[in-house]
Amino acid sequence: MNLKKTTSGVAALLEDENFFHPGFSIDCVVFGFHENTLKVLLTQYKGFDFWQLPGSFVLKNEDVDVAANRILKELTGLDNIYLSQFHLFGSTNRRLSMRADTPEIFRKEYNVEIDKHHWFANRFITMGYYALVDYTKVKITPLTANERVEWKDYDSRLPEYADHRTIVEKAMETIRFQLNRIPIGRELLPEKFTMTELRILYETLLDRTLNRRNFERKILSYDYVEKLNERRKGVAYKSPNLFSFNDEKYNEAEIKGFYMPWL
């Protein structure tokens, strides 16, 4: 799938009216968890000073979910990503960019004139997908040659970028609401993790502290988390035990949901 990863490709893309499903795009909110911090993948296009969500278009005869998986695979190098639709953004003021200086930047940086009648300059309906990935496994590859993609902290100092802040917040809200239905720990943590890491993940998502003792007891009461005979090395103070998920038992549990009293 060649999505024209060259600067001149932008011009070609603009002419490709029949290549893509018209007036429709996909935006991806990719979450990772690293050093006890929630991260989001953001991208910065050449010439623009703000960061936005990585996204792309759907081919004329491509399943939308397949397109989302294709984009995520290209972006992270990962197959079988946990990927879920969370909201359709269909307000009338959604454009390629809502910033007034966009045509100017396109002219200057890409040598492309954006005509106001071109579908590219008109309203987009965007499907928001969120992805949960193992930070340690991701190898970032920007979707085009005109952008750079980086992990950014998910917190109040998230960089500015059009209505994409709204989109990230909606993704987060969806995840919080569905926390008892999402295998969030297994998707965001590496294969081996400490109980404190799992707890801090939940504390971050819930935005409150959880009782250390009761958290561990509850988690271990389900048999899908296994205590390994192994400890994290090279840390200050007492080295904590490592745990891992038993995938088979986790999948069984997924049907019933992941009820925990503090959700």
Partner DNA sequence: GCAAAAGTGTTAGCTATACACCCATGT
Partner DNA sequence: ACATGGGTGTATAGCTAACACTTTTGC
Q: Does 206 bind its own copies (CB under 8 A)?
A: no
Q: Which two tokens stand for residue 245?
A: 């998920």
CA distances from 247 to 136, 184, 216, 252, 260 (A): 19, 13, 19, 9, 19
Q: Cα(35)–Cα(38) distance, rounded to whole angstroms? A: 8
The answer for 113, left when phi > 0, alpha when psi is -120 to 50, beta otherwise, is beta
How far is C-alpha 181 from the geometric centre of its chain's CA atoms? 18
Range 187-196 burial, b when 16+ CB lie within 10 A, else e: bbbeeebbbb
Shortest Å distance, C-beta 39 to DNA = 20
Binding residue for DNA (CB under 7 A) from 60, 118, 176, 231?
231
- Is residue 95 close enough to count as binding DNA by CB under 7 A? no
CB distance 35 to 154 below 8 Å = no
Q: Which does 176 bind (CB under 5 to 8 A by kind): DNA, its own copies, none?
A: none
Residue 225 contacts its own copies per CB under 8 A: no
Residue 238 binds DNA (CB under 7 A): yes
| Residue 21 binding result from DNA, its own copies, none, given CB thresholds of 5 to 8 Å by partner type | its own copies
Count of CA atoms in the C-beta half-sphere (13 A) of 15: 7
Per CB under 8 A, contacts with its own copies among 26-85 are 58, 60-65, 67, 85
Backbone angles phi, psi at 35, to 5 degrees: 50, 50
Angle between helices 212-221 and 195-206 (to 10 degrees): 110
Q: Which of residues 120-139 bind its own copies (CB under 8 A)?
A: 123, 125, 127
| 192 sits near DNA (criterion: CB under 7 A) | no
Q: Closer CB to DNA, residue 73 or residue 218? A: 218
Q: Minimal distance in Å, beta carbon 240 to DNA?
A: 4
Binding footprint of DNA on the chain (CB under 7 A): 194-196, 211-214, 216-218, 221, 231, 235-241, 260-262
State the residues that interact with its own copies by CB under 8 A. Answer: 21-24, 58, 60-65, 67, 85, 87-88, 90-92, 123, 125, 127, 177-178, 180-181
